[in-house]
A and B are shown apart, each in its own frame.
Chain A
Amino acid sequence: MVPLGQVVQLEKIEPLQGYKLRIVQEVVLALLAKQASHGYQLQARLALALGPLGGALNAGHIYVTLGRLEKADLVRARRVDQAGRPDRKVYELTAAGRERVHEWLSDTSWPKPAPAEFHLKLVAAAAAGLADPVRLIDKQRGELLVGLREAQRAALAEPAGSVAGLLLEGVVLRLQADLRWLEECARYWNAAKG
């Protein structure tokens, strides 16, 4: 929805082990909005917010991202002399960066919902007689339940009041919603079969 040609291009050039850089970029920008920060400070904030999901996001990711943002003129780095610190750079937002943060926060686009593709898959499978839709649903359900199990365990392992727990709760609830929808699909395709 928001034209971000430059950023998308960056992602294409250097994928970072599966993490959606767009999100990391926006978050890093937003975290710098209040005050300038060191890279390691940013990384700590992100790790706290993601909890068990932030495991793969190491300091390297942050610096690569900051580097790109600097090239795109969204942040600028200042050198600060600090004894005993490997990191001497403090990053702060440029005017363009500040504008981007505002744009991001006011953007209400929502991640693409799942049903359409699977729904069409079921319709097509039934029409072509290639596969039993009910079997497909059962398989899918198993897949989702294994995911739910993982997410739930991770959520249960979070201490009470953890901010990352909230993210996991979101994952669990979405999976639940998907599973309920699968149940409806099963009911429909079962009836269609019989």
Chain B
Amino acid sequence: MGRLLLIYRLVVGDIKRRPVQSALLAVVIVITATTLTLGLGLRNVAQKPFAHTRAATRGPDIVIQGQPNRGARGTPARAFRPLAHATGVAAIGGPFPLAFARLTAPGIDVPVNAEGRTSTPTAVNQPLVTAGRWVRPGGVVIEQGLAGALGLHVGDRIRLRGRAFRVVGIALQTEQAFYPACTPGLVWVTPGDAGRLATPSDPLGYEVDVKLRHPSAARAFWSTAAANAFSKAASGSTISQSWEAIKSEDYRVVTIDQKALLIGSWLLALLAIASVAIVVGGRMTEQTRRVGLLKAVGATPRLVAVVLLAQNLLLALAGAAAGLLVGWLLVPSFSDPGRGLLGTPPSPTLTLVSMVEVICAAMVMAVAATLIPAARAARTSTIRALNDPARPPKRRPRLIAISSRLPVPLLLGLRLGSHRPRRTVLTTASLAIAVTMIVAAVTLQHEVDLKEQTSSQSGLFISSSIGGRVTHLVWTLGAVLVVLAGVNAIFTMWTTVIDGERPTALARVLGATPRQVSAGLTAAQLLPGLVAACIGIPAGLGLYELAGGHVATAKPPIMLLLAMVPCTLIAVAVLTYFPARAGARRSVADVLRSE
């Protein structure tokens, strides 16, 4: 009991003694846990959305659209009848009348195909209503991807070719890729309404949905005699599409998102590792000394390890809990209500498993943060830990020689920065990762903007919302990375200030002004910032290529990219200003006295 009380006291005491460092460690864990939560949450977003949706909507293997041959007699149904008896065909749906129209509403003007449907379910291609109800006269059902992209909801009023309709439902389908992967968009109306939408210049077309005995034979089917029979019934402007083609179009959208997310989460993972290394390394110095102190008063190495572990676990658990909460709140903003496949909307769910995974990851971080100092504690003798708490900085003769030729702030900065080369490398890496992501985001944004311009010139409302969604994702990831890199920069600055307390106090005794000292401390961070920007720009373009983009088509303006360098430097300077100022203002007498 007494031992528990002791451990509790030591843990709380240490957290209180260095609140900023403890808080920063917690922040890093929170951010890592948040991104992990996000990643896992989005991973849960339907793993086989197309297959699910296809099964649920009795999706066709082949979709044939066309106009009945003028020469053909009777109803369209009769004209398409031979198709049903063709070899390999299991069932057919339709023919359904198709009218081309413009869907208009305030702020909306998109071309759509209005498909005429009755209330009778069909054997092939029966859309799945996800909101509202099925078609009725004057009531239109909107394909889910289209509704999402246009922001339409059940009850909204729209016009088709000028006629007033009310949105009565929203439905999923696999007869064509969901909007915006496929344009024009798709809506359903009653056959009567569809007929009224046709004009002499835009006559009704028909769609037949074919279910094959062997769906894998869809491509081959079209070249068979049965297909030839069909083409006699329909006029020349026939369009047909196999389900594989529809699927690949759907997935074009999904994979772009997933690729962005995948690469983003890799970068996040790297950055999180760098952060933990920085934070743990920063606490190491004082913890080694603490370990020596504890051992001197008779604590066993195991007790020491327990104290460290308890302390880090406490921070990790708090961080994981907060991270889960933040991640859970953020996940919906990453998901897309407009996705036109089953399982993608509306919000990714956090399963118990993924929560356990997040907590485990945080624990692993805590254990990692404990192992190194604990191992060191076991290795170092008590006396050495007490007398020589900080690893003496390594001497770099060339750097010292070079810096003595530089102005005072750079001299101080270079020498302070070189004290802890590993930490400097980690900071550089974390900044470089953030810059990389931002460069990629800028490039993507530029490509999307370019496309939007050309598409608005051509008067078409095309797939910019794919770009929009990916851009949103990439920017959000970029923002998270920037925050994490920022926390790293502040933390590194803080530890540099603490490590550099004695040398900076000494420099002030020898006549360096506070401004020179704080400029020196900032310079110690700006140099990694400069390197990071120089690495990050090409790395960002490389990442863009890797993710399937083409820098050559995106044509990111060179000035914008070059502007990343001063932007990074300014950001680092701003972030590190306050710790640097605090470091340069501490009473010299206090620092030297505490020796």
Chains A and B directly touch (beta carbon < 8 Å): no
Which residues of B are at the interface with A, using a C-beta cutoff of 8 A?
none
Which residues of A are at the interface with B, using a C-beta cutoff of 8 A?
none
